[in-house]
Amino acid sequence: MAMFMPNFNLQHDPISTTQNTTQYCHLRSTIEKRNSPFLVSWSFPPPGYVKINTDGSFMPKSGEAGYGVIARDDKGMWLGGFYGRLDTKSTSSLTPELWAIHEALRQVKHCNLKKVIIETDSNEALMLISRAKKVDANHPDHKVIEDCRILLSEVETCLIHTLRQGNNCADQLAKLGRKQSQNSVILDHPPPFMHQWLLADMSHIAYARYPKHAR
């Protein structure tokens, strides 16, 4: 995995990370038990917080995978973003999801940020990282999971789960990561095609989600 460090334009005071202040805020929504479709939208972080959305993209037939990361302030304004392509073929969507979280955590540590929420739509990735049980050494993603756990112990971050329909911007960047020829692309400004997605999130545009049994 190529290592790189985007430079988010974050205007927050540095913090001391001498103790583990990480929170595992896994949200279990009972709304999925409904029989009818419901609406999901991206949610603004609390005042003074930065929200970093992450996502992975995976093609089962080719094994090609990429990830995307986007940071926004409490008004939904773009602070920075990046996307990357995995150097090796993946066997599942879990791998790029984990790498997206990993690179987001590295950015939080690098910028010494506080009041950060990292949001992923991968329930499996979140549970593997936040679980106290040691990861089996034979797990294909053992290394990145352990690295994520170490990073989480060094930063002040709330790691939460969202539904896929509330993670569209990160999803768009992850698809770029999978398709590109470069290992990583750092974005100081959003690509033109992202403007509509960012505006939709800022305008509380919601998308329908259907219960699994109703699909």
In a domain, 137, yes or no: yes
> How many domains does one find in the chain?
1
Q: Which of 153, 108, 149, 106 is nearest to 126 (CA)?
A: 149
Beta bridge partners of 80: 71
Question: Residue 4 falls within a domain, yes or no?
Answer: no
For the chain, how many helices (H) and strands (E)? 5, 9
Residue 5 falls within a domain, yes or no?
A: no
Residues ≥6 apart with Cβ < 8 Å to 16: none
Domain limits at 123?
A: 46-214
Q: pLDDT at position 80, please? A: 95
pLDDT of 17 higher than 90 = no
**In a domain? residue 13:** no
Q: Is residue 98 one of the residues assigned to a domain?
A: yes
**Is 70 exceeded by the pLDDT of residue 128?**
yes
- Closest by CA position to 65, among listed 38, 85, 79: 85
The region that residue 176 occupies, defined by phi over 0 for left and psi between -120 and 50 for alpha, beta otherwise, is: alpha
Residue 23 has pLDDT above 80, yes or no: no
Q: Residue 173 falls within a domain, yes or no?
A: yes
CATH of the domain at 186: 3.30.420.10
The per-residue pLDDT for 88 is 83
Q: What is the pLDDT of residues 141-194, one digit of tens each?
A: 999 999 999 999 999 899 999 999 999 999 999 999 998 877 889 999 999 999
Based on its alpha-carbon atoms, the radius of gyration of the chain, rounded to whole angstroms, reads 16
Average confidence (pLDDT) over 187-211: 94
Dihedral sign for Cα atoms in the order 201, 103, 131, 56: positive
The pLDDT, as a whole number, for residue 8 is: 55
For every residue of 15-36, DSSP letters joined together read ---SS---EEE----GGGG-SS
Q: What is the mean pLDDT of residues 43-64?
A: 94
Residues 73-127 pLDDT 10s = 999 999 999 999 998 888 899 999 999 999 999 999 999 999 999 999 999 999 9
Q: Is the residue at 33 inside a domain?
A: no
101, two tokens: 């979280």
- The stretch 28-48 carries a mean pLDDT of 75
Domain contains 174: yes
Instruction: With cut-offs at 50, 70 and 90, classify the pLDDT of residue 34.
Output: low
- The residue behind tokens 């219960």 is 211
pLDDT of 43 higher than 50:
yes
